[in-house]
Structures are given as structure tokens and as C-alpha cells.
Structure 1
Amino acid sequence: MFNKEECLRFIEEENVKFIRLAFFDAFGNQKNIAIQPDALPKAFEKGISFDRFNIKGFDIKGKEDLFLFPDPSTLTILPWRSMDGAVIRLYCDIKDANGNLYCEDTRNLLKEAVMELRSRKLNIDFATQFEFYLFHMDDNGVSTKTPIDHGSYMDVFPKDKGENIRREICFSLSDMGLEPKASHHEKGPGQNEIDFRKNDPLQAADDAQTFKWVVRSVASLHGLEADFSPKPLKDKPGNGVRVQVYLSEPSKVKSFIAGILVHIEEMTLFFNPCKQSYDRLNHEGAPKFVVCSSILRNQLIRYPQYRQDMFECQSLDSTSNPYLSYMLLIYAGLDGIDSNLDLEQVQKHYINRTLPSSLKEAMDLASKSDFIKQYVPESILKTYLNGSDEDF
């Protein structure tokens, strides 16, 4: 990781000519401001101002500008851009004019959740698995929704025509300091999966956002569209995100899982924030019931018998904001620990309970939830209740 001085030295030594200062709206859509290298020292000290009014989920009642403060530890070079005048990206903290961290910044909300974990001397890591389709584009650069192959689960070339692109994606990620663990063809035609090694919550969320950007960029360079949407093809498997959660205290895992089961229905709006999410949920291969299983792999929570310190949550999709999703998973789990919930008793209580079957149902549950209102700022909750812009 870089500090400010190392970051500035890197820019000079590597002939960096362009700097992207990146941040995210409430839905996790990446935004950025591009600056020249000579503007970076000022950005570190005083920030770069921007207009909050056009950023979804940011409080429009505030009159003051907000400021982007680059986080030097997130420096990464963009390997698909020309090295003759390199381009780097820095994620940013968002502050107000008084230097206070902005409370509607979901990246900062996750940082606060991590601080709560540390105050309890509890460590959590996340390892994420992403699914996406690769589609051909026409001569005008518009997706045809025609998959690049007709392969199926873990097929190889020539049935799998995405292996070279997956390899290039993994190499690009490695060049950027990310650690992909495995990749393979998924069940659907042209569907792929790339898995990551476990990391602390903030780094895992940063990596998730970087990953989606890299995949789309590399696919575009090959004349393809990378589609992360939950159900891009009506009669084919959907795209999910599986999140493996590792706790430093295995004795607390069952209570942590129980807390998630108790709050999962009200959190679903944030894990599955668009209409298409519900074309995937409750269908073949996707979770339906509020249940934890040590055997069945497609249940909401999988708690494998061979690991006492880990479980897997399988309801999320890539339209979710990982900063917000990981924050809610942490607080729900901590509530289970604080309440000393018994997993077996919770399972009995929630038997035959299902996840919301529509976006409207998920909105209704979130709008009535004291748990959600405690941790999700009002402006962000209102934004989600008004509906996603389907921008994925």
C-alpha cells in the first residue's frame, strides 16, 4: 500500500499523465473526476470539490459542496491503458467543507462497521464469487444478447470460448494488486465465474468494484459486453454473487448466521435492488427459503460441515452495492451475537419463510424495518425506495 509521498513518487517515476479519482453513488455505480498529476498534492490536502445534487443517494438538502480526498493506499495503474503516459485510479474519501466524513458515503459506512468489529476484537474477512455473461456486440457497439458460446458448467475449449478473456481479466487484476483465486465457465451459455481470495471487508468491497470495472473494460476491448445483470437471458441461469464470510471466533459463527437469517428479508432490497433481481431469486439455482444448510449448495446460507469459521451467503447479485451489503451483513451478524441467538431455534421459527418475491415486497419490508433505519441513512433509504435506475 502507498502513502501520500510514495504515491507522488510513483506518479513521477512511472510517467503517470492521468489520474482518476473514483467514488460511488448509493447504488454502487462508479463515478470519477479526472485530474492531472500536478493537481494531486492539492487534492490530498484540500480535496477536489464536486456537486452532490446529481449523485444518487446523496442528501440534496445540503447546500455545501462535497470534496474528494484520494486514498493513496488504493492506488492502482490501469494495465489496459497505454504505458506511454500511464493512467492510475484512486478511490476517495468524501468529506464536507469542515473536513468531516460524509455520512451518505457508503464506503465510509462500511469503514464504520469495520471499526465496530475491531472495538469488539472481532475480525471478519469476505471472499466473493461473481458470475457474468459475455455477449457479442453489433457493429454499432450495442449488445446482441447473443452469448459467445454454448458451453456449460466447467466446460473447456472449444465449448468454452471465454477462457482467454477470463485469463486476460485475471492477469489484469493481478497487475492491479487484486488476487483472483479461480475462474471457470458457468452453467449458462457464455456465462463465467471468477472467485477471489478472502480479504478484510473494505478491501473486499473495493476489489468487487474494481473487478466489475476491469471485466467490462477488458470485454469491451474484445468487442464484447460483460453483463452482470441478475437475469440477462429469460430461460437461462441468472448471475449471482456468493459471499463467503470468515469469522475470527468460530464459536460465534452460528449466532452471526442467525442474525442474518432474522434480518435477511428486510435487507433484501439492498442485496437485490432491481426488478430483474426477482426474476433470478426464487427460481432454479437461486435461494428461495430463509434457511441455512450444511449440505445443499443452493440454499440462502451454506454452512459447510468441514469449516466451523466460515459460511456462505448466496442471495446477493451484482446490482447490489458491496459497501452497503457488507455493512448490513456485519451489523445483522453482530445483532445475532449480541442477542445470543440460537441458530437451530431461529431456523425452526423461520421454517417455510421465503425471501421477498418482488421488488415492491422488498421495498415494503425495508421501509418498515427499524434495523434498516438504524444503519442506512435516510437519503439512501429513500433512494432505494424510489427504485433502482437499472444501471448495471
Structure 2
Amino acid sequence: MTSGNISDTEQAVLDEIEEKDVDFLRLQFTDILGTVKNVSVPARQAEKAFAEGIYFDGSSIEGFVRIQESDMRLVPDPETFAVLPWRQKEDSAAGRMICDVYDTYTGEPFEGDPRRVLKNAIDRAEEMGYDVNAAPEPEFFLFEEDEDGYATTETGDHGGYFDVAPKDLASDVRRDIIYGLEEMGFEIEASHHEVARGQHEINFEYDDALSTADNVATFRTVVRAIAAQHDLHATFMPKPIPKINGSGMHTHLSLFTEDGENAFHDEDDEFNLSDTAHSFLAGILEHAPAITAVADPTVNSYKRLVPGYEAPVYVAWSDRNRSALIRKPAARVPAASRIEARFPDPSCNPYLALAALIHAGLDGIEKDLECPDPVRENIYEFDEEKREEYGIETLPSNLGEAVDALEEDEVILEALGEHVGPKFIEAKSQEFEDYLVDVSQWELDRYLETF
């Protein structure tokens, strides 16, 4: 039985809170930069949160609002309720719900909320007759902590791609992370040691775009929390160690029609991709430089996006090799036909990155963009003359160039919206300016005693 205006789904959450002795709730959201934030409330406030929302000061959150318009409201999504596996005790537990942010004064969804930005992209797709599915592959590093509990860049293992113990000493940590994720409702497909020492990947099942972005935010939180229980520091920094592979977040995308058919599949096409898929792919290639500012949003991201370390920097697609920006993976069944964007990294705000990819692809469909031929050779081995012959451009080489590309791309700016777009550009421009005036240890080592 429900109480008041509480829905059946909300009542089910209230029942689970009582059944599992949840005493505190974390009401979670993200700022524009993708940092997970939360307001913690006693679990007895759950019904009030559903009915009225929970108020908080939005002026304290990166990129939200000015001090004179600071009152915001969190409205929890009951579908996202989960008990935090690392906070369970004998007599109590803590729960989590992901929230939408509302403007207190207008009562409308806050357009500066990254989750709202992604919902707007999903709404656009639905208006065109599509549901968007996505599956990310976030990679991360596990580092040892020093005696004071601070992160080092010592990995504690010397494993490589798909290695097993004794080289892969972190397999037990991955196992505990997987157990924790499964307790929070994840369907884990696979996990393995990645190419670089200390680098790992855990793949979870595809889902609708909103659930996928929620899952990425949750994934990063769970990985860090459980790694910390093993006295390890987990980082999603794209390139924490120089001269070895960095961490990416390859993102698989597909569109489904209202009757449940995969809009990307065509049995008669050489690549089993429909015209819709070709145009969607062409849209992402068209807007790739601007998307990069959102999907690879840090100064450090561009230390990963260099040739020679398995990171894609060339604006092309392929059905055979991984040197291109977008790959068409093999599909065993029609429902699995998809494309894989290989350039996002795990430091991105998943809501904004998916929104940018979706809008770019939909723009390709609306404009019926023609997809270029796939490049089946290893583009890493091309010289500049051969790349020009194939018409292959490169991604921006640094965050400043990427922000410049974003400022010039009306489609991706529109995807971010009138609030997030300018705030994001302001924050990232400042980040790049700070980087330009800093002096690195590399410079000191190379020049201090030479000149």
C-alpha cells in the first residue's frame, strides 16, 4: 500500500529501506565537471525527499548557479536506489539514490544539471523515433598508497594484457569490486588486466543511455571505495604514468526503433550497418574535434591521445583495426550491431559525453551525412602525406585546441545547452591557462642545470 502521492516504485524503496535497516541515504548528483556530489540525509527523510525533494545550496557546486540564485532542489530517482556494499554493518546500512536537480524558483528541471543535458539528448532521439543504448568500457589504474595514505604511482603488480596471478596481483581486488557492483545491480560481463602495469578493465552490460551514464558515475565511486579497503588508490586519470598506455573509456552505441528493432543493422550491407548507422557514424566523425573537449576534458587527456599507445587520434572509422576513432565491432546477432567510439576517456562527465555523442550522431541522421569509406590499414603507420591522401584529420592535440573546436561547433554547444556550454568552456579554458603558466618537473629536470 502506498502513502499519499508516493508511487509504487517509491513505496518499494521505502519498504527496502526498512527491510535492510538503511539508516542514511546519499542523494547523489554530479557537477558540470563530472565530480560526484551527494547530500546525506537520515533514511527517515526518504518519503519527504520523494514528495518534496531536498533543498541544497547550488552556489557551492562547480558551474551551477550564482550566489544570489543558490537554492536548488534534489529529486531522487527511485529506480536508482541501491544499498552501498561497503557501508553495510550488522545492524545498519547506507543507501544511495541518483537525483535530478530542480530550480527552486521556477519548479522546472535545472538546465545546468548534467543529467538533464543527457535527458534532453534522449528526448531528441525519441522524437526521431529512437531509443539510445550504450555500453562503456572504463579503464582504471590501481596504485599503492604511501605510509600517510596518499596515492603513489607504484602499481604493486607487473601484469600485462589478460595476465593472471602471480603477475596480476590485483585479481582479488577486482573480484571484490565485481561483487560490490553486482550488489548494486550491475550485470558484469568480464574483467581483466589491461595492457599497462596496474591497469584494469571491468565491463558491464549495455543499457539505455541514462542508466549507462548513471552506471559510470556509480562504477567510479564503487571502484574507488573498494580499492581503498585494500589500501589502494584507484584512479581514472587518463595518463598517470608517462610512456605507457593510458586509460580510455571506449563507448559502444546503438539506436533501437520503437518496435524494438536495431536501427543500426542491415543484413545486406557489407558491414551489416544500416544507412541510419552510417549517417550516425558520419555525424560523430563530423563533430569529433568538439566532442573531444567533452569526452577528453582534462589537460592530461591529451597525454593519452598520442600515436603509439593504442589511443585513437585519427578521425576515421574501421571495421577491422583499432587505430581509427570509431570501430564497427563484430556482432553475433542483429541486435548486437553497434559502433564503438574509442576516443572518450574515463575522466569525462558521462552525462555530457553521451549527450555530445548522441547529438552529433542524430545531426548526421538529420542531415543524411555520407559516411566515408572505412580505413582498413593501420593508420598509425601512415605518414602525413598518406593521411592527406585518405583525407584523415587528427583530433585536437591539447585541451586548448579542443575548447576552440567546441566554441565553433553549434551542434555540440546546443547539446550542452545555454547554461552548461558557457560554464564548461569557462572552466576548461581556465584549466588550460593554468597549465600553460605552470612549470613541470620535466622542464626543471631538462633545463635547470643546462642553461
TM tier, smaller: over 0.9
Structure 2 match to 1:95: 102
Shift of 1:361: 0.4
8 Å CA contact 1:290, 1:350 repeated in 2: no
* Structure 2 residue 43 is the aligned partner of structure 1 residue 37: yes
Please, which of 254, 257, 262 is the counterpart of residue 246 of structure 1? 254
8 Å CA contact 1:21, 1:34 repeated in 2: yes
Q: How does 1:1-392 map to 2 (within 5 A)?
A: 3-60=9-66, 63-83=69-89, 84-97=91-104, 98-247=106-255, 248-250=262-264, 251=274, 252-283=276-307, 284-304=309-329, 306=331, 309-344=337-372, 351-388=391-428
Q: 31-40 or 58-67, which moves further after superposition?
A: 58-67
Shift of 1:126: 0.7
Shift of 1:72: 0.9
3-state DSSP class of the match of 2:421? helix
3-state DSSP class of the match of 2:86? coil
8 Å CA contact 2:103, 2:109 repeated in 1: yes
8 Å CA contact 1:241, 1:317 repeated in 2: yes
Shift of 1:61: 7.2
Greater than 4 Å deviation, 4+ residue runs: 305-308, 345-350
Q: Where in structure 1 are there 5+ consecutive unaligned residues? A: none
Shift of 1:335: 0.7
Q: TM-score, length-normalised on structure 2?
A: 0.83
Distance in 1 between residues matched to 2:329 and 2:34, nearest whole Å: 30
3-state DSSP class of the match of 1:270? helix
Superposed CA deviations along residues 236-278 of structure 1, whole A, max 9, x for unmatched, are 1101000011222122111100000000111111011110000
8 Å CA contact 2:30, 2:37 repeated in 1: yes
8 Å CA contact 2:287, 2:409 repeated in 1: no
Shift of 1:363: 1.0
8 Å CA contact 1:26, 1:56 repeated in 2: yes
3-state DSSP class of the match of 1:123? strand
Superposed CA deviations along residues 46-95 of structure 1, whole A, max 9, x for unmatched, are 11111111211213276251100111111000111133211000011111
3-state DSSP class of the match of 1:189? coil
Distance in 2 between residues matched to 1:145 and 1:371, nearest whole Å: 39
Matched to 1:328, the amino acid is A
3-state DSSP class of the match of 1:146? coil
Shift of 1:104: 0.8
- 1:10/1:306 CA distance change after superposition, 3 Å: closer
Distance in 2 between residues matched to 1:2 and 1:86, nearest whole Å: 23
Distance in 2 between residues matched to 1:60 and 1:322, nearest whole Å: 24
Q: 307-316 or 163-172, which moves further after superposition?
A: 307-316
Q: Where in structure 2 are there 5+ consecutive unaligned residues? A: 1-6, 256-261, 265-273, 376-387, 433-451
Shift of 1:138: 1.0
Superposed CA deviations along residues 11-67 of structure 1, whole A, max 9, x for unmatched, are 112111111001110011000110012222221111111111121121327625110
Which of structures 1 and 2 has the bigger CA Rg? Answer: 2
Superposed CA deviations along residues 353-378 of structure 1, whole A, max 9, x for unmatched, are 10000111011111122112322234
Distance in 2 between residues matched to 1:144 and 1:204, nearest whole Å: 30
Q: TM-score, length-normalised on structure 1?
A: 0.95
Distance in 2 between residues matched to 1:55 and 1:206, nearest whole Å: 19
Aligned residues: 390
